[in-house]
Structure 1
Amino acid sequence: MRTTATPPKSRTPFARPSGAGVLLGVLAVLSAVLLALVAAEWSPLLAYDREVADVLHAKAVNDPGFVHLNRVLTDWVWDPWAMRAMLALITGWLLWRGDRLLAGWVVVTAVVGTLLQQGLKAAVGRERPRWQDPVDSAHYAAFPSGHAMTAVVAFGLLLWLLRRFGATAPVWRAAVAVAAVSVVGVGLTRLYLGVHWFSDVLGGCLFGAALVALSAILYARCGSGRGRRGSRV
């Protein structure tokens, strides 16, 4: 009796992570490493933070006009409440067009960002720079920078939504330019005014970007039917 050989079972290949997944992994690792270094008070990082702070503060105390400009920018243009107002307008537009799920997703992401930011501040408890002749003041712990993290979350969500809705090339380029200037600008103002260390600003950017990447991936996978089938992350 002739037997037919059973073909070997094919092995199921491991799914390759998407570009967004790789980005999230890189951001998560960098955020965790920076958090560990700050919490451990790693000497080279503290020395670099102090060097940057001293150089910028020396410039600030000799230029009150530029200090005033930076205070206007940080208190009105790139203030966390201004960023939240922008997200509120975006949420209102999404609700107007009937996309309640996506509107809720934006709100939840922003709220999680605020909670994460405050939780990290409480957990690390890092002191802000102290000066004999301060040019500005700020409250709460230093790490991570709330201004930087809120700006990255707000503009990150804006860029994600523009990608989802297929923004034209000119609109996309303009939005990227505004986002880049705002994120860099908010970080520089906080450093120039002497209320944050460099690693505070970097941490705010990393944690904010990681949160937006995670939010986009989760929405694409389970947020809606469109997200489950080939929608853009």
Structure 2
Amino acid sequence: ANEEFVIIAILVMLLVVVLAFRKWRVALIYLIGVVVGNLGVNSSLKNVFKRERPAEELRLVSESSFSFPSGHSFASAMIYPLTAYILMRYTGLGRYPRTVAVVVTLIVLSIGFSRIYLGVHFLTDVLAGYSLGYAFYYLTRFVIEKVENVT
């Protein structure tokens, strides 16, 4: 869930939604949800709470921004389920909802666990990131469904 991977994944997803599925509105809603949620809300909350990360000597990697909420957890809880939802809605993946759910859940949980293991987040940072990410996932999904049912 590093920044470069997420940006590339988002761009690929937008291209797939627009070029393969011809769903311009869905792509736009996806992009707005990701940008507003991850870049807007999550970044703003970090500056509101200004929670310091765990002690430097406990970290396996270096991070300089604030800790709460976890941006990686937020992004993983929003982007992976949303991407899976869109792919399931417009492709044959919809025939395997349990398999997709298990894979997405394992990815999301592993990203949150890795942030704690690396010593750059507290458990509460990760849980808050998950909560916000899933909230934005459901909000974005709701908007997509409303727009798609109208047209």
TM-score range, shorter chain: 0.7 to 0.9
Partner residue of 2:6? Answer: 83
Counterpart of 1:176 (choices 91, 96, 101) is 101
Structure with greater helix share of residues = 2
Letter in 2 for 1:99: K
1-side partners of 2:9 and 2:100: how far apart?
A: 13
- Is 2:9 the partner of 1:109? no
Contact 1:84 1:154 survives alignment (8 Å): no
Selected match of 1:148 from 73, 90, 93: 73
> 136, 143, 160: which one pairs with 2:85?
160
What is the deviation of 1:140?
A: 0.9
Change (3 A) 1:132 1:168: closer
Amino acid paired to 1:105 = I
Counterpart of 2:149, as a letter, is G
Secondary structure of 2:18's counterpart equals helix
Q: Distance in 1 between matches of 2:103 and 2:76?
A: 11
How is 1:182-221 mapped onto 2 (pairs within 5 angstroms)? 182-221=107-146
- Unmatched tracts of structure 2, length 5 or more: none
SS state at 1:132 partner:
helix
User: For the aligned residues, what is the CA RMSD?
Assistant: 1.9
> Hey, what does 1:99 align to over in structure 2?
23
Count of residue pairs the alignment pairs up? 148
Q: Which runs of 5+ in 1 are unaligned?
A: 1-77
Give, as a single letter, the amino acid of the residue that structure 2 aligns with 1:144. Answer: P
Q: Give TM-score, length-normalised by structure 1.
A: 0.58
| Alpha-carbon distance between aligned partners in 2 of 1:133 and 1:124, rounded to the nearest angstrom | 21
In 2, distance between residues paired with 1:80 and 1:199? 21
Partner Cα distance (1:103, 1:145) in 2: 25
1:5-154 equivalences under 5 Å are: 78-97=1-20, 98-113=22-37, 114-132=39-57, 134-154=59-79
Deviations 1:130-169 (A, max 9, x none): 1435422112110110111111111121132134326343
Q: Match for 2:19: what amino acid?
A: W
Cα displacement (A) at 1:90? 1.2
The runs of at least 4 consecutive aligned structure 1 residues that moved more than 4 Å come to none
> Which whole-Å deviations, capped at 9, do the CAs of 1:52-74 have from their partners, x for residues lacking one?
xxxxxxxxxxxxxxxxxxxxxxx
Q: Distance in 1 between matches of 2:30 and 2:71?
A: 18
Q: How does the TM-score come out when normalised to structure 2? A: 0.87
